[in-house]
Amino acid sequence: MAEKGKAPFLRHRTELRVLYGDTDAGRVVYYANYLRFFEAGRTELIRDLGDSYRSLEERGFIMPVVESHARYKSPAFYDDLLVIETWITEVKKMSCRFEHRIFRKDEDQLLVRGYTVNAIIDSNGRLSRFPDPFYRLLLSATENPAE
State the catalytic residues.
Answer: 24
- Cα separation of the two ends of the chain: 25
66 Cα distance to chain centroid: 13
Do 126 and 86 touch, CB atoms closer than 8 A? no
Do 84 and 13 touch, CB atoms closer than 8 A? yes
83-101: b (≥16 Cβ within 10 Å) or e: bbbbbbebbbeebbbbbbb
Which is nearest to 85 in space by CA: 62, 110, 63? 110
